[in-house]
Structure 1
Amino acid sequence: MSDFPYRSALIVGAGAGISASLTRRLRAENIPVVIAARNVDKLASLVDETGAVALPADAADASQIDALFSETEARIGAPEIVVYNASGRVRGPLAELDAAEVERAVAVSALGAFHVVQQAARRMTPAGRGAILLTGATAGVKGFALSAPFAMGKFALRGLAQSAARELMPNGIHVAHFVIDGGVRGSHPEASGAPDSLLDPDAIAQSYIDVLRQHRSAWTWELELRPWVEKF
């Protein structure tokens, strides 16, 4: 019998990088997994490979997140692990950014995370157990030029994680924020001659698993992961 402490998982904002690696690792622990994205067609090969359940959802739409959690419960039971990987990006000079596009980007990175954390808390608090993992970025601790909307969303995500950790951890719910401090292989062009300048998504997923296995007397609320060769 596995000693893994959780029995079901929902990953919101699933794709081919961190989410795919984490899905494989969870399925290796015989954990049923629901993976959610606006476009589930891109998840077909991962579903075929792992047996995960793919469901459509726009993270920024509260009603769709409500429906996603209800459907997840129907498919695999209430998720004991909830992972938020969705992000919104808009780049450009501040004076030239489209306000509607900025609003959408921040809604995906931050407001969507709130919707997901709220739904998770409503289910995990009565149970007195669960884990909520939020995928952040360098932009959540340092805003870069021409990338204000991404920084705005990721700063808000980090604040949500910190507040949720302080509120929910005493209720038995482990909340952790991961600062992915660098590019991830598969989502960024490989740097010629410098593959170690990018993070390996399988190694990131292993770190998520390690955090999920932590004893509650020494829970991590934030973990920074960065490549050992980097230029920033």
Structure 2
Amino acid sequence: MTEAIGSAASARVAWIAGVGASAGLGAALARRFAREGLRVAVTARSRERLDAIVDEIRRAGGQAYALPADVTSESELAEIARQLADHGTLEVAIFNAAGMTRGPTLELSAAEFEAAWRVTTLGGFLFARASLPALLAAGRGSLLFTGATASLRGRPPFAAFAAAKAGLRSLTQSLAREFGPRNIHVAHVVVDGGIDGERLRASAPQYVAERGADGLLNPDDIADAYWHLHQQPRSAWSQEIDLRPYNESF
């Protein structure tokens, strides 16, 4: 699993969990932080997709490596956290994974509801537990989480997704209050609208066409916001920001 890339003595590391297609937010985050000179560790269950992103970043001159894992596995995330030390100093950790369960409430099984919670809420907790020791040891860093419209309000057919995302949001607030005073910037990003990525274009092409130019969130633009969060001076940290297209109602 470990792939050594040059000297780790002074390398800055970004760990991003929840990286899928190249035309998606996770990949955009990986490219953005790699462009700033960080070594990017990307995590998801699909080794094939991770390898494609790693290859893309390396061909562009960046440094990246794939560390596949299930974010609901405490042991797998702990193992990755141990491996990160071989590649440099963890500076930023981003949790972008989510269990996108949808369906009418009376048709949702308990297992489906729990699965959404396990990936989104429990996964976020386990990722924080795995990341924080290295960030604290470094004395600084950012721990960032991807939220959604559902983080703020629930509606059908997203009962499971909304419950999980609301739980994640509350978790980030608890973490920020606990670890902000220890120089760890914990922030939650509410992505309020459709992301112009592979998933939406494949599942709802008509909706994509109807939204028009800049009517969907561009993944690279979202990634810019994460970078700016990471760069914020600690005298003026944001715990939560919301991002939406100019024509999105809210």
TM-score (norm 1): 0.93
The alpha-carbon deviation at position 231 of structure 1 amounts to: 5.0
Q: Deviations over 1:96-122 (max 9, x none)?
A: 211112111110000010001112222
Matched residues in 2 for 1:122 and 1:136: separation?
A: 23
- The percent of aligned pairs where both chains have the same amino acid is 43
Three-state SS of the structure 2 residue aligned to 1:133 is: strand
1:35 is the counterpart of 2:71: no
Which of 76, 79, 83 pairs up with 2:90?
79
Which of 122, 130, 135 pairs up with 1:119?
130
Matched residues in 2 for 1:145 and 1:195: separation?
A: 28
Segment drifting more, 123-132 vs 211-220:
123-132
Query: Who is 2:53 aligned against?
Result: 46
Matched residues in 2 for 1:126 and 1:11: separation?
A: 19
Query: Who is 1:138 aligned against?
Result: 149
Which of 214, 217, 220 pairs up with 2:232?
214
Segment drifting more, 119-128 vs 14-23:
119-128
Q: Deviations over 1:20-55 (max 9, x none)?
A: 111111111111000000112112321111131011
Three-state SS of the structure 2 residue aligned to 1:8 is: strand
The alpha-carbon deviation at position 68 of structure 1 amounts to: 1.6
Which of 177, 201, 205 pairs up with 2:188?
177
Matched residues in 2 for 1:154 and 1:58: separation?
A: 18
Structure 2 portions without partners, runs of 5+: 1-10, 59-63
Matched residues in 1 for 2:181 and 2:244: separation?
A: 29
Which of 164, 168, 171 pairs up with 1:153?
164
Structure 1 portions without partners, runs of 5+: 1-5
Query: Who is 1:67 aligned against?
Result: 79
Matched residues in 1 for 2:237 and 2:190: separation?
A: 16
Three-state SS of the structure 1 residue aligned to 2:71 is: coil
Matches within 5 A, 1:86-97: 86-97=97-108
Instruction: Look up the equivalent residue of 1:134 and give its one-letter code.
Output: F
Aligned CA RMSD, in angstroms, stands at 1.5
Instruction: Look up the equivalent residue of 1:124 and give its one-letter code.
Output: L
Q: Deviations over 1:140-191 (max 9, x none)?
A: 0011211111001100110011111111011010011000001100131252
The alpha-carbon deviation at position 73 of structure 1 amounts to: 2.2
Which of 114, 122, 146 pairs up with 1:103?
114
Matches within 5 A, 1:160-199: 160-186=171-197, 187-189=199-201, 190=205, 191-193=208-210, 194-199=212-217
Matched residues in 2 for 1:37 and 1:106: separation?
A: 17
Aligned length: 226
Q: Deviations over 1:183-221 (max 9, x none)?
A: 100131252251322100010000111111110000111
The alpha-carbon deviation at position 130 of structure 1 amounts to: 1.1
List structure 1 segments (4+ residues) > 4 angstroms apart after TM superposition: none
Segment drifting more, 109-118 vs 125-134:
125-134
The alpha-carbon deviation at position 90 of structure 1 amounts to: 1.5
Segment drifting more, 183-192 vs 152-161:
183-192
TM-score (norm 2): 0.86
